[in-house]
Amino acid sequence: MKNKLFSLLIANYNNGQYIHNAINSIHCQTYSEWEIIIVDDCSTDDSLSIIQSFIDEGVRIRLFINPVNSGVAYTKKRCIDEASGDILGFLDPDDALMAHALSVMISAHEKQPDASLISSNFFICDSNLGRRRKMVTYLPDKGKSLLDMYNEKPSISHFASFKHSLYKETIGMNTDYKRAVDQDLYLLMEEVGELGHVDEFLYLYRVHSGGISLGKNYYKALASHIEIILDTCKRRGIDKEMYLGEFLERRDSSFNMTYIIKKKIKALIHRIGL
């Protein structure tokens, strides 16, 4: 697996304030065989000029721009479609990688050839990437799915890398989702290979008010997550009612879901035909 090309995938929209940190963290990696794929979703800030300044300095970035604003799911899927690497991994434009992240992941894929996706632990950071606390993530117990463990303990999250060849065996990411799209990818990769994990902290997750799944957007992300669960159950031909019921029971015991989100959930259930 050594000397395999690693494609870092960045789906950007108006993250000019932060994207230089993301790009710099790739440029400083101890593993040298990488490319950066950036798909910009019609940013209206200074993102493109910042990205172009890195390209002008010789940083290995391949930049693509959507013809119209198309949303995060479409943009992330296009990142994958444009990538040339053997191993792929998403880096959100407002986050950053530890300097040894790619080296660790390449070694892990070499040791786990049957793994479709390998995840790691991450640091939760403040808006300046100052480390606040460690977040340890886990794989499902043997014989169980990611669907079985949502909300019981932290499951697959950043930093996750996956084999390009095995992704091509899936139906591909659904471009209709608005949020929680990484969960769609993880569930797809679970269907084509084993899930792996390295117990190292490789990712810096920035918490700030503009995050698409944080603050006032939390319940919108929850609605998308529910939609992904339902679609996955339908695709796999398994009991939607059981998985959705358990998911909502765990959520409702921890959060007071509003009338609006409950109405949204009912609409999603009706659409799926549950």
Asked if residue 254 is part of any domain, the answer here is yes
Residue 252 burial (CB < 10 Å; 0-12/13-18/19+)?
Answer: exposed
Q: Are residues 193 and 94 in the same domain?
A: yes
Give 12's pLDDT tier (boundaries 50, 70, 90): very high
**pLDDT digit string, tens, across residues 159-185:** 999 999 999 999 999 999 988 899 999
Residues above pLDDT 90, as percent of the chain: 66
- Mean pLDDT, rounded, for 87-104: 98
For the stretch 197-243, pLDDT in tens is 999 999 999 997 665 555 566 677 778 888 888 899 889 998 777 77
Q: Is the domain of 142 the same as that of 63? A: yes
Q: Is residue 229 part of a domain?
A: yes
Q: Do 226 and 95 reside in the same domain of the chain?
A: no
Total number of domains in the chain: 2
Range(s) of the domain holding residue 257: 216-272
How do residues 99-122 score in pLDDT, each as one tens digit? 999 999 999 999 999 999 999 999
Question: Is it the case that residue 126 has pLDDT exceeding 90?
Answer: yes
**Separation CA 139–CA 93 (nearest Å):** 25
Same domain, 198 and 105: yes
Question: Which residue reads 């909300």 in tokens?
Answer: 151
Look up the CATH number of the domain holding residue 93.
3.90.550.10
| pLDDT confidence tier of residue 84, bands split at 50, 70 and 90 | very high
pLDDT exceeds cutoff 90 at 44: yes
Do 74 and 168 share a domain, yes or no? yes
Q: pLDDT exceeding 70 applies to what percent of the chain?
A: 83
pLDDT recorded at residue 216: 60
Has residue 61 got a pLDDT over 70? Answer: yes
pLDDT digits (tens, 9 = 90+) for 238-274: 877 777 766 666 655 544 555 455 555 555 555 555 4
Confirm whether 1 is domain-assigned: no
Assigned domain for 150 exists: yes
Domain end: 210, 231, 246, which one?
A: 210
Residue where a domain stops, chosen among 210, 230, 247:
210
The better pLDDT of the pair 123, 270 is held by 123
Give Cβ neighbours of residue 54 (< 8 Å, ≥ 6 apart): 20, 23, 27, 61
Instruction: Examine the fold and report which residue of 191, 210, 229 is the final residue of a domain before the chain moves on.
Output: 210
- The arithmetic mean of pLDDT across residues 4-26, rounded, is 97
The chain-wide mean pLDDT, for the chain, equals 88
> Are 50 and 116 within one domain?
yes
- Same domain? 175 vs 249: no
Residues 244, 121: one domain?
A: no
Q: Do 124 and 255 fall within a single domain?
A: no
Q: Do 50 and 183 have their domain in common?
A: yes
The answer to whether residue 188 sits within a structural domain is yes
Residues 189 and 263 in one domain: no
81 and 141 inside one domain: yes
